[in-house]
Amino acid sequence: MQAQSEPLNAAGLRRDGLIERLSLFGLASPAMLLILVILVVPVGWLFYVSFMGADGSFSLENYERMIDRKSYRRIFGTTFQVSFLTTGLCIMIGYPLAYFMSQLPDRLANIALITVLLPFWTSLLVRTYAWLVLLQKQGLVNNWAISLGLWEEPIKMVHNMTGTLIGMVHIMLPFLILPVYGSMRAINRDLMKAASNLGAHPRRAFWDVFFPLTMPGLSAGALMVFILCLGFFVTPAVLGGGKVIMVSMKIVSNIELFVNWGAASALGVVLLVMTMIILWIASRFLKLENIAGGGH
Amino acid sequence: MNWLKRPATETQVTHGQRLWLYILAGVVMILLVLPTLIVIPMSFSDSQYLEFPPETWSTRWYGHYFGSPEWMRATVTSLKVAVLTMLVATPVGVLAAYGLHASNVAFVRAAFVLMLTPMMVPLVLVAIGAFYAYVQLQLLYTVTGLVLAHTVLALPLVVIVTGSALKSYDMSQENAARSLGAPRWKAFLTVTLPQIKFGVITAGLLSFLTSFDEVVVAMFISGGDNPTLTRNMFNALRDQIDPTIASISTIMILVTTFMMVLAQTLGQDRKPK
Amino acid sequence: MNQPNTDALPITVRNVTKTYGPVYALDDVSIDVESGEFLTLLGPSGSGKTTLLMVLAGFTRPDCGSLKFGDTEVIRTPPHLRDLGMTFQSYALFPHMTVEGNVGYPLKLRKRPKAEIAERVARALDTVQLGGFGERRIDQLSGGQRQRVAVARAIVFEPRILLMDEPLSALDKKLRDQMQIELRHLHEQLGMTTVYVTHDQREALTMSDRIAVVNHGRIMQLATPRDLYERPANRFVADFIGESTFLDVTRSGDTLAWNGVPLKLGHHAVPDAPKLQLMIRPERIVLRDGPSEGFNTFDATATDVVYQGDSYLLHARLNDGSQIALRGAMRGTAALPEEGQAVTLGLAPEDTVVIDASAE
User: How do residues C142-156 score in pLDDT, each as one tens digit?
Assistant: 999 999 999 999 999
Q: Which of C235, C251, C284 is the last residue before a domain boundary?
A: C235
Q: What is the pLDDT, as a whole number, of residue C74?
A: 95
Q: What's the length of chain B? A: 273
pLDDT at C293 over 90: no
Q: Which residues of B touch C90 (CB under 8 A)?
A: 170, 172
Across the interface, do C95 and B181 touch by the CB < 8 Å criterion?
Answer: no
Across the interface, do B213 and A123 touch by the CB < 8 Å criterion?
Answer: yes
Across the interface, do C61 and A12 touch by the CB < 8 Å criterion?
Answer: no
Assigned domain for C98 exists = yes
Same domain, C154 and C63: yes
Interface of C with A in 11-50 (CB under 8 A): 14-15, 17
Overall average pLDDT of the B83-111 stretch: 91
β-strand partners of C323 = C317
Across the interface, do A16 and C76 touch by the CB < 8 Å criterion?
Answer: yes
Same domain, C247 and C227: no
Task: Judge whether B114 is closer than 8 Å to chain C, CB to CB.
Answer: no
pLDDT at B272 over 50: no
Assigned domain for C164 exists = yes
Q: What's the length of chain C? A: 360
**C342-347 sheet: strands from edge to edge:** C286-288, C342-347, C296-307, C311-318, C323-329
| Separation in Å, CA of A33 to nearest CA in chain C | 29
Overall average pLDDT of the C24-45 stretch: 95
Across the interface, do A8 and C61 touch by the CB < 8 Å criterion?
Answer: no
Residues 6+ apart with CB under 8 A from A224: A175, A176, A179, A291, A294, A295
Same domain, C66 and C185: yes
Cβ atoms A109, A178 nearer than 8 A: no
Q: What is the pLDDT, as a whole number, of residue A274?
A: 92
Q: What's the length of chain A? A: 296
Q: Phi and psi dihedrals of C275, rounded to 5?
A: -120, 130
Angle C11-C15-C20 from CA coordinates, rounded to 5°: 110
Q: Which residues of A touch B249 (CB under 8 A)?
A: 123, 125-126, 129-130
Report the CATH number that the domain containing residue C320 is assigned in CATH.
2.40.50.140
Chains A, C: CB contacts under 8 A, how many? 30
Which residue from B minimizes the CA distance to C90? B172
Q: Positive or negative CA dihedral for B63, B68, B72, B78?
A: negative
Same domain, C282 and C166: no
Q: Which of C201, C235, C269 is the last residue before a domain boundary?
A: C235
Nearest to C110 among B172, B178, B181 (CB): B181
Q: What is the pLDDT, as a whole number, of residue A4?
A: 53
Q: Which residues of B touch C59 (CB under 8 A)?
A: 175, 178-179
Assigned domain for C118 exists = yes
Assigned domain for C4 exists = no
Cβ atoms B270, B197 nearer than 8 A: yes
Same domain, C213 and C352: no
pLDDT at C1 over 60: no
Which range has the worst mean pLDDT, A192-196, B180-184, B237-241?
B237-241
Q: Which chains touch B (3 or more CB pairs under 8 A)?
A: A, C
**Residue A292 to residues A220, A228, B150, B224, Cα–Cα distance (Å):** 8, 12, 18, 35
Q: Whole-angstrom Cα distance, residue C90 to residue C94?
A: 11
Cβ atoms B159, B97 nearer than 8 A: yes
List domains and CATH numbers for chain B: 2-61 (no CATH), 69-239 (1.10.3720.10)
Across the interface, do C64 and A17 touch by the CB < 8 Å criterion?
Answer: no
Cβ atoms A269, B122 nearer than 8 A: no
Residue C214 exposed, middle or buried by CB count within 10 Å (0-12, 13-18, 19+): buried
Cβ atoms B47, B56 nearer than 8 A: yes
Nearest to A13 among C14, C15, C63 (CB): C63
Task: Judge whether C84 is closer than 8 Å to chain B, CB to CB.
Answer: yes
**What element of type H or E holds C205?**
helix C201-207
Nearest to B121 among A27, A43, A238 (CB): A43
Assigned domain for C90 exists = yes
Which range has the worst mean pLDDT, A49-63, B127-141, C35-49?
A49-63
Q: What is the pLDDT, as a whole number, of residue A294?
A: 36
Across the interface, do A42 and B219 touch by the CB < 8 Å criterion?
Answer: no
Same domain, C161 and C53: yes
Residue A104 exposed, middle or buried by CB count within 10 Å (0-12, 13-18, 19+): middle
Same domain, C304 and C263: yes
Q: Whole-angstrom Cα distance, residue C62 to residue B232?
A: 60
Overall average pLDDT of the B64-93 stretch: 95
Alpha helices in chain B (DSSP H): 19-37, 39-42, 60-67, 69-102, 108-120, 123-137, 143-167, 172-179, 184-187, 193-195, 197-213, 216-221, 229-239, 244-267
Q: What is the pLDDT, as a whole number, of residue C108?
A: 95
Assigned domain for C281 exists = yes
Q: Phi and psi dihedrals of C14, rounded to 5?
A: -130, 125
Cβ atoms A98, A177 nearer than 8 A: yes
pLDDT along chain A (296 residues), means of 10: 68 92 90 95 93 84 86 92 96 94 89 86 88 85 86 87 94 94 90 87 89 92 93 92 89 87 92 91 70 40
Same domain, C86 and C216: yes
Report the CATH number that the domain containing residue C133 is assigned in CATH.
3.40.50.300
**pLDDT tens digit string along C174-227?**
999 999 999 999 999 999 999 999 999 999 999 999 999 999 999 999 999 999
Domain boundaries, chain A: 1-50, 61-295
Overall average pLDDT of the C161-176 stretch: 91
Same domain, C271 and C228: no
Q: How confident is the model at residue C68 (pLDDT cuts 50, 70, 90)?
A: very high
Q: How many alpha carbons lie under 13 Å from residue C221 in its C-beta half-sphere? A: 23
Comparing A242 with C108, which gets the higher pLDDT?
C108
Q: Whole-angstrom Cα distance, residue B180 to residue B187?
A: 10
Closest to B175 (Cα-Cα) out of B192, B198, B199: B192
pLDDT at B266 over 80: no
**Residue A17 to residues A24, B12, C64, C160, Cα–Cα distance (Å):** 11, 60, 11, 27
ipTM: 0.88
Q: What is the pLDDT, as a whole number, of residue A287?
A: 63
Q: For chain A, state the CA radius of gyration.
A: 26
**Residue A256 to residues A64, A251, B220, Cα–Cα distance (Å):** 22, 9, 9
Same domain, C88 and C16: yes
Peptide bond into C22 cis (omega under 30): no
Angle B201-A229-A289 from CA coordinates, rounded to 5°: 45
Q: How confident is the model at residue B267 (pLDDT cuts 50, 70, 90)?
A: low
Q: Whole-angstrom Cα distance, residue A18 to residue B104?
A: 11
Assigned domain for C3 exists = no
**pLDDT tens digit string along C294-353?**
889 899 999 999 988 888 899 999 988 899 999 988 877 777 888 889 999 999 988 889
Same domain, C201 and C64: yes
**C276-280 sheet: strands from edge to edge:** C261-262, C255-258, C245-252, C276-280, C353-356
Regarding the domain delimited by A61-295, which CATH topology (the fold level of the hierarchy) does it fall under?
MetI-like fold (1.10.3720)
For chain C, the domain total comes to 2
Residues 6+ apart with CB under 8 A from C175: C143, C144
Amino acid, res. A139: G
Residues 6+ apart with CB under 8 A from C136: C98, C99
Q: What is the pLDDT, as a whole number, of residue C84?
A: 93
Across the interface, do B184 and C80 touch by the CB < 8 Å criterion?
Answer: yes
**Helix pair B19-37, A70-103: axis angle to 10 deg:** 120
Across the interface, do B10 and A138 touch by the CB < 8 Å criterion?
Answer: no
Q: How confident is the model at residue C2 (pLDDT cuts 50, 70, 90)?
A: very low
Comparing A62 with B6, which gets the higher pLDDT?
A62
**What DSSP letter does each residue of A185-201 carry, written as one string?**
HTS-HHHHHHHHHTT--
Q: Which of C195, C216, C235 is the last residue before a domain boundary?
A: C235
Which one of B170, B179, B185 makes the best mutation probe of the C interface by having the most chain C beta carbons within 10 Å?
Answer: B179
Cβ atoms B8, A103 nearer than 8 A: yes
Across the interface, do C106 and B186 touch by the CB < 8 Å criterion?
Answer: no
**Direct distance between the N- and C-terminal alpha carbons of chain C, in angstroms, rounded to an integer:** 41
| Separation in Å, CA of B154 to nearest CA in chain C | 28
The domain of C247 spans 243-356
Across the interface, do A275 and B130 touch by the CB < 8 Å criterion?
Answer: no
Comparing A37 with C288, which gets the higher pLDDT?
A37
DSSP 3-state assignment of B273? coil
Same domain, C215 and C300: no
**Helix pair B69-102, B108-120: axis angle to 10 deg:** 160
Q: Whole-angstrom Cα distance, residue C28 to residue C14?
A: 8
